[in-house]
Chains A and B, each alone.
Chain A
Amino acid sequence: MDNITRYENIEAYLDGNLPATERVLFEQQMAEDAAFAAEVALHRKLQSALGDQQKMAFRQQLTDIAAEFSGPTDPGPGAINPRYWWAAAVIILIAALSWWLWPSSSSNQDTTGQTPPAIDQPTLDTTTTSPAVDTITAQQPVKKQVPAPVNKPNPQAAFEPNPTLEKLTQTEPDPYFNVRETSLEGTATDVSQQFSIVFWEKC
């Protein structure tokens, strides 16, 4: 017996449409085969539950209303608490506002539009004592005064052998340090020239 025929037999039995002889055989099969009896019972329950149109309509109505009252579903184990999202949004908003407002407030303070002189900036005008206070003076173009080099040292002279030192190192080597390198920074036109000698300790 194929599945379609089996289904039709079960439905015919439940509807009371099986002939008497077939019904006896059907019930005999149910008595002998528990699985078959369970299948027939399931067909009967499905028919009873899903065939009750009033009940089906009521359950559908409850399902529809339940959808109106279903809040947010429970977050999964790895879900982030929505409060953290709100906190992050507030922080981003504050940062954005600060960034947006900061340049305008600083420009209000500096009415000349000039940036204040750097702390280590060389003195532009010896007659101007305080450029930050006297903004009018700062606005005026100031000619950079470069002091005339007096006794300008020759940078290359640092690499020239010093007879005195040469004599000392040859005759009496330093017990603690060796000269590793020498370097020269600066240019001939610049007033600031720096020489350095780096030592390292002897092992």
Chain B
Amino acid sequence: MTQPDQTYIDAIRTGNPEGLRSIYREFLPMVSGLVTRSGGRKEEAQDVFQDALMVIYEKCRSDGFTLTSSFSTYLYGIARNIWGNRLQKKSRTEVTLPDDFKLNDQTNLLQSILQAEEERIFWDAFQRLGDDCRKLLQLFFEKIKMEEITEKMQYGSVGYTKKRKFQCKEQLISWVQKDPRYLENHPAKMP
């Protein structure tokens, strides 16, 4: 692995803002070209790029991760798989990717891509919530006790906190379940 590639990996691993900016500066145009050339919009390119970085972030956190190709090839390969997966869902037809961009760990990579896509749906729905709900659910998902959440949120009672948490979570789940991207993977209806 070359020195710049190691710098990129370190930036993702540590969340270095300048390093992440340099990754955007260097590689976003490449992914944007990939998406827009096949009819995608710039906003979709941004999503694909971010999801690809999330996949690499997950890989970096796992033990024994080593970059066997250049960072550019790795990132482009993941982005191409993500975009190919989305195109496949869009057109309901098989999208054949060139072999030179298929990675060795296809099974694991596909799993990571699907996870990143699903988490993007959760993230988008979470971002739609109001500030109050976001803060409350964040504390709840952090496993903070209800009494402490009540105090931090300055609610009147634990009972109200539980009710409010339910309302926020119900809204979040409703938006996730209504998301077309989620429905593509989960056609079965829930109660």
Contact = CB atoms under 8 A, between A and B. Distances in A.
* Contact count band on A: 35 or more
Nearest to B189: A35
Contact of A50 (B58, B138, B188): B138
A186 interface: no
Contacts of B138: 50, 56
A36 interface: yes
A39 B172 contact: no
Interface residues of B, number: 41
B41 A74 contact: yes
B42 A4 contact: no
B21 A50 contact: no
Contacts of B71: none
A50 B137 contact: yes
Interface string A79-106: 0000000000000000000000000000
B186 interface: yes
Interface stretch (B1-9, B87-95, B96-104, B115-123): B115-123
Contacts, number: 95
B21 A3 contact: no
Main secondary structure of the interface of B (DSSP, over half): helix
Nearest to A46: B122
B141 interface: yes
Contact of A47 (B118, B141, B190): B141
Contact of A51 (B28, B142, B166): B142
A62 B54 contact: yes
Interface stretch (A65-73, A155-163, A176-184, A187-195): A65-73
Interface string B1-45: 000000000000001010011001100100000000000011100
A42 B122 CA distance: 10
A42 B191 CA distance: 12
Contact of B15 (A15, A45, A46, A61): A61
